[in-house]
A and B are shown apart, each in its own frame.
Chain A
């Protein structure tokens, strides 16, 4: 069964740090771009970051640049999100997701597998 399982969420004070993990199973993790998406309470979806198969390309939403780092360990089938200098507005459910690639070009088409999410609360 194709599965993504996030962990590492919790309550952290403003300015603090947290590292989220996402364990992948049921597919060849190293072949796919991976993504973090977040959803603040009662709000819509916000893309956070993407990472290429070998980790050489990374992209971030402006609001987290310089504070968050996406990484992966293909040997461990794991995706990570290191979050530093956390702010109240980072409070959200964080989802990891696998990207569906276009077969011929490799272009990304959408996120076809999602984890259940892990909750991050930034509050004093």
Chain B
């Protein structure tokens, strides 16, 4: 099984900050990576797919990059509504797996 490891587990930032979350795969997943945002008590929301493609309706301050085993999700200027938990997920092969999550907190 492909293991997905996110870092950091918790991240703090101010509104306006640029923040980056990293996701590493235990083997190459090419570009088959998605990012999700989840707020407490809510379902996850798809942000990015195929590593760097922005889902429709998602603000352009979100961007993704990477291929192979290392990927990043960057928020260029944190907004109040961005404080949430973020998950990466691979789609390269079964079983599909998620990272353990990165909690983005307000500093």
Chain A positions within 8 Å of B, measured between CB atoms, are 37, 44-47, 50, 59-62, 95, 100, 102, 107-112, 114-117
Contacts and interface: CB of A to CB of B under 8 A. Distances in A.
18 contacts: A47-B95, A47-B96, A47-B97, A47-B98, A50-B96, A59-B95, A62-B1, A62-B95, A100-B46, A102-B50, A107-B32, A109-B53, A110-B46, A110-B55, A111-B44, A111-B46, A116-B43, A117-B43
Given A45-B98, A62-B95, A111-B44, 5 more contacts: A45-B38, A45-B87, A59-B96, A95-B44, A117-B43
Interface string B49-83: 11001010000000000000000000000000000
Given A100-B49, A102-B50, A117-B43, A110 B100 contact: no
Q: Is the interface of A mostly helix, strand, loop or mixed?
A: strand
A45 B36 contact: yes
Contacts of B49: 100, 109-110
A60 B95 CA distance: 7
B62 to A, nearest CB: 13
Given A109-B34, A112-B46, A59 B94 contact: yes
A115 B1 CA distance: 27
A101 to B, nearest CB: 10
Q: Which of A37, A102, A110, A112 has the most C-beta atoms of chain B within 10 angstroms of its own C-beta?
A: A110
A115 B43 CA distance: 7
Contacts of B32: 107, 109
Contacts of A117: 43
Contacts of B36: 45, 110-111
